[in-house]
Amino acid sequence: MALYLRKKLDNKAEIAVWQVTETEEELLNITSVPNDELEEISLFRNESQRKQKLAVRALINEMFEEKMYLNHHDNGKPYLENCATNISITHTDKYVAVITHEEEEVGIDIESLERDFSAVEKKALSEDEIDDLEDEKKNEQLAIYWCAKEAIFKRMSQNRVDFAEQIEVEKFRPKGEGELEATFIHKDEFEEEFDLEYLMFDRHVLVWLVG
């Protein structure tokens, strides 16, 4: 088993991270997957994607004593069919992560810092956010911006969100772990404020929010 991290947060959410080191066959052997979900996973042609889906199931099995049935809304947002607990899921080739909360909405995103995030500056950042970038840790900053906005996007579960115009992340300096403040601006200009947390490990960035 490659459970990398599992912890309860002060706000009663739970986060779990799985490092995908197993073969697809090994994941199948250690994971109990409902038949309809297994059939859906088998449709992915890419082996890495199948492994990520199986690792998500492994995390869900770790986090819940009862067998959970995972499904997705039409907009792609995951939910548990037989449980009211809110869930958000994210994955890269190397890690998958899940956050749950019994009452509050949640959002989570993970990215590898091996990825070039230069395109994020143009398509997802406001002018103020671009002005706050520093050359020394620019790719790390862009990765955190992207993960934060993705986590909020998942939490809001709305279509056609303009990341640059509708999600504003307050100025920050990247470090090993920290907190972020952000605002989501609805199309009717109503604003919602969010507190996020992030963690950097093994050249990856993980960002999550609850509430």
11's tokens:
């706000």
Q: What is the mean pLDDT of the chain?
A: 94
**Backbone φ, ψ for residue 147 (5° rounding):** -60, -40
82's tokens:
């037989």
Radius of gyration of the chain (CA): 17
Question: What's the pTM value of the predicted model, to 2 decimals?
Answer: 0.94
Q: What would the pLDDT profile of 78-126 be if each residue is shown by its tens digit?
A: 999 999 999 999 999 999 999 999 999 999 999 999 999 999 999 999 9
Angle of helix 47-63 relative to helix 35-42, nearest 10 degrees? 160
| Domains of the chain, start order | 3-104 (3.90.470.20), 110-210 (3.90.470.20)
Which residue bears the tokens 């994941």?
A: 27
Count CB-CB contacts under 10 A for residue 167: 25
